[in-house]
Amino acid sequence: MIQQIHPCGGSAQEYFSLTRLPSYADSFGFILIYPQTTKDQNCWDCYSSASNTHNGGSDSKAIAAMVSYTLGKYNGDASKVFSVGSSSGAMMTPILMAAYPDVFAGGAGFSGVPAGCFENATSSTPSTPDQSCPHAQKGFTAQQWGDIARAEYPGYTGQYPKMQVWEGTADTLVTIGNLQAQLDQWSNVMGLSFSHNETNTPQSGYTKIVYGDGTRLVGYSAAGVGHFVPFHETDVSTTQDLLDGYR
């Protein structure tokens, strides 16, 4: 099962038409879910303490509940639940990985921020008065970012989901510093170290940043790309093993 989370100002129907995942689902037989928010300029709640807390409420709990309902209704495989999103959806995806690591097996965010980055702000929209999160000005260490993620589900001792992070170097809305901030956060949570870079991967101008053996955490820096980084269905599917068991 894959959950696709739309960006600010977008909609579930729009995001359905923006990627090729529906054709993948038809070919390989997995379920797609498209959540929808209609408040705060159609932006997800990535700032409230409720949304940034396991079972705290708000959008993150609602999305997790959608997963539970769909698994039951369609007899889905609870071990293969993934979240992918762009912009606001890529900000919600890390929150889901941190607050509901027992629900999701992996996530991929395109032009997003670390889990908990917006917490204590007044909103998580492009017009929020506090731009320190999207402009990567928090200045937290990897340990601090990791602690923020772990605090979203206190007491959780299981394995955290796989993560894949994509950011454009020319993005002025969600700046490129958020790529390293997210990699710092999840490498600390997972106990992984930087391994190596692969230039011009998966295409010219992109750099793949590998942590550990590359099966749990990778980042992609897209040179000259603004907001949004184009969705890369094949690379998401390969790295996150979304199609494992469906081929």
At residue 240, the pLDDT reads: 54
Q: State yes or no: pLDDT of 238 exceeds 90.
A: no
Is 245 among the domain residues?
A: no
Element (H, E) at 163: strand 162-168
Of 87, 88, 123, 221, catalytic: 87
Q: Is residue 237 flagged as an active site residue?
A: no
Domain of 66, CATH number, reads 3.40.50.1820
Residue 223 binned pLDDT confidence (cut-offs 50, 70, 90): very high
103 within domain boundaries: yes
Lowest mean pLDDT among 12-26, 92-106, 183-197: 12-26
Number of domains in the chain: 1
Residue 126 within a domain: yes
pLDDT at 19: 87
Q: Can you give the residue range of the structural domain that contains 28?
A: 2-240
Q: What is the pTM of this model?
A: 0.94
Per DSSP (E only), the strands in the chain are 2-5, 32-33, 82-86, 106-110, 162-168, 194-199, 206-211, 217-222
Mean pLDDT, rounded, for 42-66: 97
Going by their DSSP bridges, the two strands 106-110 and 2-5 should be labelled as unpaired
